[in-house]
Amino acid sequence: MAAAESLRELGRLAETAGASVVGQALQRRAHPDPATFVGSGKLREIQAARAETGYSVVLFDEQLAPAQQLRLESALDVKVLDRSALILDIFASRARTREAALQVELAQHEYLLPRLRGQWQHLERMEGAIGSRGPGETQLETDRRLIGQRIARLKRDIEQVRRQRALHRRRRTQQGIPVVALVGYTNAGKSSLLRALAGAEAYAADELFATLDPLTRRVVLPGGEAFLLTDTVGFIQKLPAQLISAFRATLEELATADLLLHVVDATSPALAAQVATVLATLAGLGLAERRVVAVLNKGDGCVLPDGTPVASEADLPRVDVQVPEAARGALLVSALHGWGLDALRRRLTFELGSSATAGAAAP
Ligand X SMILES: Nc1nc2c(ncn2[C@@H]2O[C@H](COP(=O)(O)OP(=O)(O)OP(=O)(O)O)[C@@H](O)[C@H]2O)c(=O)[nH]1
Q: How far apart are CA 176 and CA 173, in angstroms?
A: 5
Which residues fall within 8 angstroms of residue 129, CB to CB, at 6 or more apart?
A: none
Q: Which is nearer to ligand X, 207 or 225 (CB)?
A: 207
Shortest separation between residue 8's beta carbon and ligand X, angstroms: 16
Comparing CB distances to Mg ion, the nearer of 71 and 190 is 190
264 is an interface residue for ligand X by CB under 6 A:
no
Of the two residues 64 and 236, which places its CB atom closer to Mg ion in the complex? 236
Q: Which is nearer to Mg ion, 109 or 190 (CB)?
A: 190
Instruction: Name which of 83, 104, 82 is nearest 93 in CA terms.
Output: 104
| Interface pick for ligand X out of 105, 157, 300, 351 (rule CB under 6 A) | 300
Amino acid in the structure at residue 9: E
* Residue 184 partner contact from ligand X, Mg ion, none using kind-dependent CB cut-offs of 5 to 8 Å: ligand X
Does 258 bind ligand X (CB under 6 A)? Our answer is no
Q: What is the C-alpha to C-alpha distance for residues 52 and 45, in angstroms, rounded to an integer?
A: 11
Window 207 to 236, contacts with ligand X (CB under 6 A): 207-211, 234
Tell me: does residue 94 bind ligand X (CB under 6 A).
no
Kindly write down the DSSP assignment for every residue of 59-115, as one continuous string. EESSPPPHHHHHHHHHHH-SEEEEHHHHHHHHHHHH--SHHHHHHHHHHHHHHHHHH
**Measured between alpha carbons, how far is 355 from 14 in angstroms, rounded to an integer?**
41
- Min separation Cβ 17 and ligand X, Å: 13
Our finding on whether 187 is near ligand X (CB under 6 A) is yes
Grouping H, G, I as helix, E, B as strand and the rest as coil, residue 290 is coil
* Neighbouring residues of 136: CB distance < 8 A, sequence distance ≥ 6: 120, 123, 124, 127
278 vs 186: CA distance, rounded Å: 10
Q: Of 191, 274, 277, 355, which lies in the binding site for ligand X, with binding defined by CB under 6 A? A: 191
User: Number of residues in contact with Mg ion, rule: CB under 5 A?
Assistant: 4
Residue 109 vs 298, nearer CB to ligand X: 298
Q: Minimum distance between the CB of residue 188 and Mg ion, rounded to whole angstroms?
A: 9
Crossing angle (nearest 10°) for helices 98-129 and 136-175: 160
d(CA 5, CA 249): 31
Does position 229 bind Mg ion by CB under 5 A?
Answer: no
Q: What's the rounded Cα separation, in Å, for the pair 306 and 39? A: 46
Residues 304-343 that bind ligand X (CB under 6 A): 334-336
Under the criterion CB under 6 A, does residue 190 sit at the interface with ligand X?
yes
Nearer to ligand X, 188 or 292 (CB): 188
Site for ligand X in 58-77 (CB under 6 A): none
**Could you say which of 184, 214, 240, 340 contacts ligand X (CB under 6 A)?**
184
Q: What is the largest CA-CA distance in the chain?
A: 79
Q: Point out which residues pair with 261 in neighbouring strands.
A: 182, 293
Tell me the site size for ligand X, rule CB under 6 A.
24
- Return the residues of window 149-208 that contact Mg ion according to CB under 5 A: 190-191
**Residue 95 sits in the site that holds ligand X (CB under 6 A):** no
277 binds, among Mg ion, ligand X, none (CB under 5 to 8 A by kind): none
Taking the C-alpha atoms of residue 119 and residue 242, their distance in angstroms, rounded to an integer, is 19
Report the partner that residue 281 touches, choosing among Mg ion, ligand X, none (CB closer than 5 to 8 A by kind): none
Do the beta carbons of residue 53 and residue 72 sit within 8 Å?
no
Residues that bind Mg ion (CB under 5 A): 190-191, 210-211
Residues that bind ligand X (CB under 6 A): 184, 186-192, 204-211, 234, 297-298, 300-301, 334-336
